[in-house]
Structure 1
Amino acid sequence: MASLPQTTHLFRRTSAPYPLTIALTTEPLSTTLAPFSLLVHIRAVSLNYRDVAMLHKGAYPSAASANEIPASDCAAEVVAIGSAVTQFQVGDRVAPICDVANLTGEERDAATLGLGGNVPGVLREYAIFEEEVLVRLPKYLSWEEVNVSLFSSRDPIKRRIDNFVRWINGLDVSELTKQCARRTQCANASMFAVLVCIAAGIRPIITSSSDAKLELVKKISPKVEGINYKKQPDTTQEVLRLTNGRGVDFVINNTGSASIPADIAALRQKRGTISLVGFLEKMKADWDPSLLLNLMAKTATVQGIQAGSKLDYKELNKFLEEKEVRLNSIIDRTFSFEDSPAAFDYLWSGKHVGKVVIKL
């Protein structure tokens, strides 16, 4: 057996003043594995808005640990296993779940332990994880592709949305072609959701302030519809036009609470779903609370979403493999590990359309 690395290169968030940065450092790596622990070599990391928001005062709604290793999404290779590990072998392709306390989705009293937030993240060469927080990754995808399939804090689509529950459990896809989904903004969650919708036979509608970004998204599939909300401020009317007056079955909202009234108005007449998955425009809103009566009238649901569970992640990977979904079309740009600060700056600039990946 080859000798194990004794050190690892990694990035940590700097201390105040804001804006923070990330700094490269070298730290010791334990060479003694606990019985249920695995040492993994991280091959690719994909960034989420959450990762860069933590560097800017007031941009992230929750407290993040100071000087912590950032990022939650990675694809890794197992290089060593503890004596009691049974689910994985050296050479397996794996990834940790974002919330390491969320194994089944039923841990109702467990506090969130989010990688890159209040526990060490994945922007490092090597890491040690417990067996129970790792999942096996699809073999047919490249390191960069499989890395962007993660159920990160921005990408939890499967199982938390009723419509997706139905098709993942085997409902005939031909019935789902009648369903529509609205995505707000061309961000990470939206781009991944577009691919999942297309694979499931669901028609996606995505919004952006940029015609250029919308054209890039439409190249993924002719089924994708786009709305430029600067040119068409009344996005609800455009959604209704595109759906022949019917409205959409669900909305994935990654902008924040300001658009909730418009989201409700865009829903079909009964039992639609709005999932709040992000805060690109922060959580500021200036609307009359009485508008929530429309939610009651439509018997619709607004639900908050964080990271999916380990069970969610495994079922998502199964779906991707069955449909042979390729993810390279939603990778906007790839950076080297040494250029990680530039990757963070690029994501913060908002110029991206899709995922920003760091390759190790």
Structure 2
Amino acid sequence: MEENTLAVQYSYDSSENLYPRRVLVTGGAGFIGSNFVHHWCNAYPEDRIVVLDALTYAGNRQNLATLEDREQFKFVEGNICDRTLIDKLLEEEAIDTIAHFAAESHVDRSILGPDAFIQTNVVGTLTLLEAFRHYWNQHQQPDHYRFLHVSTDEVYGSLGPEDPPFTETTPYTPNSPYSASKAGSDHLVRAYYHTYNLPTIITNCSNNYGPYHYPEKLIPLMCINILLGKPLPIYGDGQNVRDWLYVLDHCRALDVVIHRGKPGETYNIGGNNEVTNLDLVKMLCRFMDELASHHLPVKPSMDLITFVKDRPGHDRRYAINSSKLKTQLGWAPLVTVEEGLRQTVGWYLTHRHWWEPLLSEEYQAYYRQVYA
């Protein structure tokens, strides 16, 4: 991916790709999905990649602009709840692997309007599962077919300061409409393996960050507000803890899971980077002051930090134990939070043309509603 200038070298063993895969990526124009598509196209250029995305507010076809001319790449605008479209794509494209990223994913928006989260995250996932089940059966249940369901650590609920990190056997205790909808989709995917033997795999990741991240999320929001000289709103006391995972490390993990993961299993993916929200924002301010000192309306950037009323049901701490993925499949994160944040700040500095058009009136209205 041309935007990744990290010194870390990512290597891929193409010999693991025993079959030239034909992959349907749902939500492939979104943040994590588009990074995954770039990763896969670079790692396995002979594979067929079909992106299905509804291009809602968080989907951006520009995220895939450099891939549009590839012979093995195809983009389809459409909704995962459209069973007729899904059936058609599976057959016409001879899909053997679904990488399912499509989801409503922002907690604040789920508080304001939960209906869309149930429709996309639960009904949409059910639609995909049913289509893939019938397609898989019609093709004599090939062993190498896979349905990868990309989920979140938020389904596990909130941890106390001294609690051990989430494992794959941690009970589900979702605390927001978003996490409840993702928990529901996880349960469906698990049930389809146990009921129908459908070759599904679930991954639960910690908070991602990196290129192409929609401005409503914490890290891009802070980067953009610093560049615009706007307040940096931090919920509550800023002591909520998250485990931060660089998005390209996440894509490497998903690659490993597709090629080496066992159907019916769940794998947790974390960055081993627990940071409070306040400390994270301070790090972003430090990197912005260092990398963009001549372009900042307000210096030092920390002067922009503002504490706002906490969000309802705000989980206090997330932490992921990725030892199963490391032990069984050989994956570990390569990027420290300092390296990844510096890279991410640099990306937003050089991609103003990407994020400025996203600050629409709809976005501004949403921003005022949440942070007023």
Q: TM-score, normalised by structure 1?
A: 0.35
Q: Which has the higher strand share?
A: 1
Q: Which has the higher helix share?
A: 2
Q: TM-score, normalised by structure 2?
A: 0.34
